[in-house]
Amino acid sequence: MLQFTGNGTAHTCDGVTRRDFLQAGALGATGLTLADAIAAKEAGAVEKGKEERSCIMIFNLGAPSQFETWDPKPDAPAEIRGPFKPIATKSPEIQISEIFPKHAAIADKFSIVRSCYHTGAAVHDTGHQMMQTGRLFSGGIITPHAGCVTSYLMGRRTDLPAHVIMPQTMGNTGGGLPHGQDSGFLGKAHAPFFLNADPSKEDFRVPDLLPPKQIGEVRLDRRRKLREVVDSTVNNFEKSENAKLVDSSFEAAFRLVTSEQARAAFDLTREPKEVREKYGMSRFGQSCLLARRLIEAGVRFVTVNTFLTVFDEITWDIHGTKPFTSIEGMRDIVAPMYDQGYSALIEDLEQRGMLSNTMVCNLAEFGRTPRVNPAGGRDHWPQCWSMYFAGGGVQGGRVIGKSDPIGGYPAERPVNPGEVVATIFHSLGFNLEAHLPGPAGRPFPLVDFGTKPIHELFV
């Protein structure tokens, strides 16, 4: 595969790293092409009239406690209900924790599902896989992230990638397993573009967007012309299917690194100071702002990782002892940052007329134990938790499902990971009975047989 390197040379290589975005293969040499997406549409895999839909997936790595966020239990004993009180919101149906006042002011825009569960192990990595792909990885099959499926079925709209993950992929969360944030069996053609930078930093720039300083556009153009000469002299290589794949991926990479549109979309300095401050100058807040800019510029799917690890960082992972977080740490650091960034995103999307065509889903790998532990925190609990959805056809201000009196198990309308991913696909207009080209070319169902979206969100 052709690769641009820091010293301006080109060489062949076998491996692909996440940061080697400029490899020709990083966009398609071993995967699928735009022709596949066109064929998918012609086969009815994408519903007509929803081509403009997009998705922002906010993944709350670490797993928020349902009790301290979206499903307070004020009538439960103290060791269950926790230290925070519920507050009324703009929706008469919804009460949430008092530490999210900005969410309360826009509760008519989102709807909460309080009965999510999964049957996998209570480890972060397992939940990451299931909630972002709809399946637990098994038998060596790595199911693609929902954004990568979107890339396959819909293709890119512009010079920008179809799917962007920011600020970077998930790091160590203790299990040593895949996190479900890659293209799996769909191949590198539909791998996400990883931002690999903190958009809240003053010197923020996208490392993999622009070529190294040593390589100007003139050099890039010379390499393209050189490759054309090579291709035309080797056994009619340019006529082969492999050559077509390399050509399309090379051109996609070339367009991206030389695109003024791409540079502009990632340039947060073009936003007014008051807009940036409304989102908050945190990594999460600026990631939300950048997500809005990318969707506006034509990116189909953006995944925002609220955190990157659960170790030695104040996160949602409130076990109560170091290297994890306390409930107080969540209250004082996580909640204000998150409350500000999310509420600004929803308000901004609505004001720009984008919310109806942009689903914003807030997911997590599991919930938290009904009882506060001896350290004053809560531990992993995949048996029941809450997540919420806005935009993309979702009717706001509702509560779907119900947990039992101690928030431990679904009492009404249990929702599993496959149904959550099916809900995203339904919003984007995908035919849930469609198939993907799976391992060894075998058809692979988009969702498991009989899996339905959470229809109550849309009616």
Above 90 in pLDDT, residue 17? no
In whole angstroms, what is the distance from residue 137 CA to residue 184 CA? 10
Query: Can you read off the two tokens belonging to residue 51?
Result: 């081509």
Above 70 in pLDDT, residue 311? yes
Above 60 in pLDDT, residue 359? yes
Task: Give a yes or no: residue 14 inside a domain.
Answer: no
The pLDDT, as a whole number, for residue 50 is 84
pLDDT in tens, 277-286: 999 999 999 9
Structural domains in the chain (count): 1
| Phi and psi torsions of 88, nearest 5° | -70, 160
Cβ–Cβ contacts within 10 Å for residue 247, how many? Answer: 17
Query: What is the number of H-type helices and E-type strands within the chain?
Result: 13, 16
Closest CA to 166 of 283, 281, 305: 305
Residue 393 and residue 359 in contact, taking contact as beta carbons nearer than 8 Å: yes
In whole angstroms, what is the distance from residue 456 CA to residue 459 CA? 6
Residue 116 and residue 362 in contact, taking contact as beta carbons nearer than 8 Å: no
Compute CA distances 57 → 116, 261, 273, whole Å: 16, 23, 25
* CATH number of the domain encompassing residue 366: 3.40.720.10
138's CB contacts (< 8 A; 6+ apart) are: none
3-class DSSP state of 383: coil
Domain ranges, residue 386: 54-220+260-457
Above 70 in pLDDT, residue 216? no
Q: Per mean pLDDT, which range of 176-185, 188-197, 243-252, 353-362 is the poorest?
A: 243-252
Cβ–Cβ contacts within 10 Å for residue 28, how many? Answer: 25
Query: Can you read off the two tokens belonging to residue 16?
Result: 């692909």
Above 80 in pLDDT, residue 367? yes
Task: Give a yes or no: residue 33 inside a domain.
Answer: no
Identity at 87, one-letter amino acid code: I
In whole angstroms, what is the distance from residue 227 CA to residue 230 CA? 5
- The stretch 147-171 carries a mean pLDDT of 95
In whole angstroms, what is the distance from residue 213 CA to residue 216 CA? 7
| Phi and psi torsions of 356, nearest 5° | -65, -25
Residue 151 and residue 187 in contact, taking contact as beta carbons nearer than 8 Å: no
Task: Give a yes or no: residue 43 inside a domain.
Answer: no
Above 70 in pLDDT, residue 238? no
Above 60 in pLDDT, residue 457? yes
Q: Per mean pLDDT, which range of 125-139, 184-198, 252-266 is the poorest?
A: 252-266
The pLDDT, as a whole number, for residue 47 is 87
The pLDDT, as a whole number, for residue 57 is 99
- The stretch 78-99 carries a mean pLDDT of 97
pTM given for the model: 0.86
In whole angstroms, what is the distance from residue 327 CA to residue 141 CA? 37
Give the chain's mean pLDDT: 86
Q: Per mean pLDDT, which range of 6-15, 235-244, 245-254, 426-435 is the poorest?
A: 6-15
Above 80 in pLDDT, residue 211? no
Closest CA to 248 of 31, 39, 42, 14: 31
Task: Give a yes or no: residue 297 inside a domain.
Answer: yes
The pLDDT, as a whole number, for residue 183 is 97
In whole angstroms, what is the distance from residue 10 CA to residue 278 CA? 44
pLDDT in tens, 23-35: 333 333 333 455 5
In whole angstroms, what is the distance from residue 170 CA to residue 104 CA? 29
The pLDDT, as a whole number, for residue 78 is 94
Task: Give a yes or no: residue 49 inside a domain.
Answer: no
Given pLDDT bands bounded at 50, 70 and 90, which one contains residue 257? low
The pLDDT, as a whole number, for residue 190 is 94
Sheet with 193-194: strands ordered across: 193-194, 163-166, 301-305, 54-59, 358-363, 385-390, 110-116, 399-400
